[in-house]
Amino acid sequence: MAVIAILATLSSLVWQRTQRTSKAAACMNNLRQLGSALVHYVGENDGTFPTMALAREKKTDPEPALDTVLAPYLTDSRVFACPADDRKLWQTSGTSYLWNWKLSGQKLAALRVSFVAKGIIDEASRIMVMGDKEGFHPHLTNNVNVLYADGHTSNELTFLDDTPTK
């Protein structure tokens, strides 16, 4: 009987890990789709990023945000909800993701941004465009997924590094 209990516990742990990994992968896919919508927006707006708020507290807040600006470029609004968003922030604020407001109004061809005390970053592979509002993925090293300006998604926060990623 003890062997069965141990096996049941182990299989439960494996199941939980699989669920967390699956939600993190679905979250990254959502960010990729939001990135594709952003590419369409930028293409229709003379190569300029939208001017949006970092995030909203409530859907009724008037400032433009990810879910209001990018919705016309998407066929499924569920991409605004990270599957691991257990607090359901997307239901109250419109999305589980935040926008790097420092990119607002910038031209795609000349992106530059500064984070913390790290100086200017002009490498697309290190410029965060959007990411999880909170640490929805505690099993990941940095607890979050991020979309970068070159289109790749990652759970690594390369914009905080002093060294270029190559």
Beta-carbon contacts of 67 under 8 Å, excluding residues fewer than 6 positions away, are: 59, 77, 80, 94, 95
Confidence of residue 162 (pLDDT cuts 50, 70, 90): low
Q: Give the residue-averaged pLDDT of 77-104.
A: 94
pLDDT at 160 over 60: yes
**pLDDT tens for each residue of 7-54:** 556 555 555 666 667 888 999 999 999 999 999 999 999 999 999 999
Instruction: Say what the alpha-carbon torsion angle 134, 140, 142, 148 is, to the nearest 10 degrees.
Output: -80
**pLDDT at position 85:** 94
Q: How confident is the model at residue 165 (pLDDT cuts 50, 70, 90)?
A: very low
Does the structure show a pLDDT above 70 at 115? no
**pLDDT (tens digit, 9 = 90+) per residue, 44-86?**
999 999 999 999 999 999 999 999 999 999 999 999 999 999 9
According to the model, what pLDDT value does residue 106 have? 95
Q: What share of the chain is helix, strand, coil (3-state, %, to 5)?
A: 45, 10, 45
pLDDT at residue 164 is higher than 60? no
Interval 74-102 mean pLDDT: 94
* DSSP E strands, the chain: 97-99, 113-114, 120-121, 128-132, 146-148, 153-154
Please report the pLDDT score of residue 114 as a whole number.
Answer: 78
